[in-house]
Structure 1
Amino acid sequence: MFAVYAVEPSPQDPLAALRVGERPEPVVPEGWVKVAVRAASLNMHDLWTLRGVGIKESAFPMILGCDGAGVLSDGTEVVLHSIIGDPSWGGEETLDPGRTLLTEKYQGTFADHVVVPARNVLPKPAELSFVEAACMGTAWLTAYRMLFVKSGLRPGQTMLVQGASGGVSTALVRLGRAGGFRVWVTGRTEAKRELASRLGAHAVFEPGARLPERVDAVFETVGKATWSHSLKSLKPGGIVVVSGATSGEPSALEIQRLFFLQLRVVGSTMGTLEELRDLLAFCALNGIRPQVGAELPFERAAEGFAAMWGGDTAGKIVFTR
């Protein structure tokens, strides 16, 4: 079958490990289902896989892609949940020490077919296209959990999103506006700030800009480049919700500011199957659609990877069959 895959780990030049070509058809274990992929979205996680992060060298070649939407053998249209957990785990899904994502241990969605546990498919809402639904499983689910599960914000309060154009950031803007929050966003370029405004941000700022007032919550996916600004932007007692650090880890935690102003720092990773179910329903009910910056056939996947590697994104990059 046709697939987009990583042939080996390439820490310094991840795009050098990218291949487009034929891979064996997947075997379907008992309790799993085979999905004909119609669309799959690109995530930063795929670049980490190319670099060999979070995956054993023995797992290569690895088909890339965490997210996807497609069709079961009986014609049912589905959305994929990419977290595969330990069946014996009875606690919170994202805390399962045995959990893994597609592309870490199991082959991913950038292919004609993917196999996943039967519990990992949810009905695709008719209101969402395959391209839109393919954006939901990682970036949008991460944003949903950060905002509605972890932040503790109430409608009417002010949130700051650091970074304007990535998948999680654009999802936070759309979800925040729909949830009744005042949404502020920072962006490196005029084009990125303009995009955030089009998506519903109430105000946009340059990185590091002094804000008109302090905010109730900051949503962090950038890390080192924005961390100090995030803490300085918070009201006393405010919260930073962190789900990534694309620019690296902060060089200083600024402990004094944390304890003196009683700030809270909360980590957030992905989301649960039930949260994905709720996210899909929320988007369908409220007419919310993901920002798709580029839609490319799988054969042109290298273009999408190059754009993400270069930071040239304006929402989600989606590959289609």
Structure 2
Amino acid sequence: MFAVYAAEPKPDDPLAALVVGERPEPSAPEGWVPVRVRAASLNMHDLWTLRGVGIKPERFPMTLGCDGAGTLPDGTEVVIHSVVGDPDWTGEETLDPKRTLLTELHQGTFADVVVVPRRNALPKPASLSFAEAACTGTAWLTAYRMLFVNSGLRPGQTMLVQGASGGVATALVQLGRSAGFRVWATGRSEAKRALAEELGAHRTFEPGARLPERVDAVFETVGRATWSHSVKCLRPGGTIVVSGATTGDATAAELQRVFFLQLRVVGSTMGTRQELADLLSFLDLTGLRPRIGSELPMERAAEGVRAMLDGETAGKIVFTRD
């Protein structure tokens, strides 16, 4: 079958690991289902896979793609939940120590067919296109959990999104505006700030800029480049929700400010199956739709990966299959 995969880890040149070609079609073990992929979206996680981060060398070649939407053999339209957990785990899904994402242990969605546990194939709302639905399983689910589960914000309060041009950040802007928060965002360029405003940000700022007032919560996916600014922007008792660090770990934790102002730092990772179901329902009810920055045939996956490597994103990058 057709697939886009990482042939081997290439830490310094991830594009050199990318292959657009053929892979064996997978068989579905008991309790799993095959999904014929109609659309799949690109995530930073795919770049890490190409670099060999979070995946053992013996797992290569590995088909890329955490997110996707498609059809079951009976024609049912589904959205894929990419977190594969231990079937014996009974606690909160995101705390399962044996959980994995697609592309870490199991082959991913950049292919004609992907197999997933039956519970990981959720009904797709008819109102969402396959491309829109394919954006929800990682970036939008991460943003949904950050905002509605872990931030403690109430509608009417002020949130700051750092680096608002990538998938998680643009989702936070859209979700925040739709849910009644005052949304501020930072962006490295005038174009990125204009995008954030187009998506619903009430105000935008250059990175590190002094804000008109302190905010109730900051949403961090950037890390080292923005951490100090995030801490200084918070009101006493405010919250930073962290789901990533694309520029690396912070060089200083700013602990004096954290304890003196009683700030909360909350880690947030992906989301549960039920949270994805709630997100899909939220999009269906509100008419809100993920911002797709570019939509390409899966055969042109290298173009999308290059754009993400270069930081030239304006929403989600989606690959489609007929």
- TM-score by length of structure 2 reads 0.99
User: 1 CA distance for matches of 2:111 and 2:157?
Assistant: 42
User: 2 CA distance for matches of 1:51 and 1:10?
Assistant: 5
CA deviation digits over 1:143-185, x for unaligned, max 9? 0000000000000000000011100000000100011100000
User: 2 CA distance for matches of 1:214 and 1:15?
Assistant: 41
What residue number does 1:225 align with?
A: 225
What residue number does 1:244 align with?
A: 244
User: 1 CA distance for matches of 2:291 and 2:207?
Assistant: 21
User: 2 CA distance for matches of 1:15 and 1:233?
Assistant: 37
**Any unmatched runs of 5+ in structure 1?**
none
Once the two structures are TM-superposed, the CA of residue 124 in structure 1 deviates from its matched residue by 0.4
Once the two structures are TM-superposed, the CA of residue 6 in structure 1 deviates from its matched residue by 0.1
Query: SS of 2:46's equivalent?
Result: helix
What residue number does 1:11 align with?
A: 11
What residue number does 1:206 align with?
A: 206
Query: SS of 1:152's equivalent?
Result: coil
After TM superposition, the structure 1 = structure 2 runs for residues 124-203 of structure 1, keeping only pairs within 5 Å, are: 124-203=124-203
User: 2 CA distance for matches of 1:267 and 1:12?
Assistant: 28
Query: SS of 1:258's equivalent?
Result: helix
| Pair 1:47 & 2:56 matched | no
Query: SS of 2:34's equivalent?
Result: strand
User: 1 CA distance for matches of 2:131 and 2:191?
Assistant: 24
Query: SS of 1:116's equivalent?
Result: strand
What residue number does 2:315 align with?
A: 315
Query: SS of 1:34's equivalent?
Result: strand
Once the two structures are TM-superposed, the CA of residue 260 in structure 1 deviates from its matched residue by 0.6
User: 2 CA distance for matches of 1:15 and 1:267?
Assistant: 30
- Report the residue type matching 2:227 in the other structure: W
How many pairs does the alignment contain?
Answer: 321
CA deviation digits over 1:194-234, x for unaligned, max 9? 00000000000000000000000000000000000000000
Query: SS of 2:39's equivalent?
Result: strand
Alpha-carbon RMSD: 0.3
User: 2 CA distance for matches of 1:280 and 1:311?
Assistant: 28
User: 2 CA distance for matches of 1:99 and 1:311?
Assistant: 29
Once the two structures are TM-superposed, the CA of residue 13 in structure 1 deviates from its matched residue by 0.8
| Pair 1:97 & 2:100 matched | no
User: 2 CA distance for matches of 1:164 and 1:66?
Assistant: 21
User: 2 CA distance for matches of 1:189 and 1:57?
Assistant: 38
| Pair 1:30 & 2:30 matched | yes
What residue number does 1:59 align with?
A: 59
Once the two structures are TM-superposed, the CA of residue 27 in structure 1 deviates from its matched residue by 1.2
User: 1 CA distance for matches of 2:129 and 2:196?
Assistant: 22
CA deviation digits over 1:26-79, x for unaligned, max 9? 011011000000000000000000010110100000000000000000000000
- Report the residue type matching 2:47 in the other structure: L
CA deviation digits over 1:261-280, x for unaligned, max 9? 11010000000000000000
Provide the identity percentage: 78
User: 1 CA distance for matches of 2:88 and 2:162?
Assistant: 38
User: 1 CA distance for matches of 2:135 and 2:235?
Assistant: 32
User: 2 CA distance for matches of 1:108 and 1:27?
Assistant: 13
User: 2 CA distance for matches of 1:27 and 1:198?
Assistant: 44
User: 2 CA distance for matches of 1:189 and 1:203?
Assistant: 14
What residue number does 1:118 align with?
A: 118
- Report the residue type matching 1:12 in the other structure: D
User: 2 CA distance for matches of 1:161 and 1:173?
Assistant: 7
CA deviation digits over 1:290-317, x for unaligned, max 9? 0000000011000000000010000000
User: 2 CA distance for matches of 1:7 and 1:320?
Assistant: 21
User: 2 CA distance for matches of 1:264 and 1:28?
Assistant: 43
User: 2 CA distance for matches of 1:78 and 1:189?
Assistant: 37
**Any unmatched runs of 5+ in structure 2?**
none
Moved over 2 A (4+): none
User: 1 CA distance for matches of 2:318 and 2:214?
Assistant: 36
- Report the residue type matching 1:305 in the other structure: V
Query: SS of 1:37's equivalent?
Result: strand
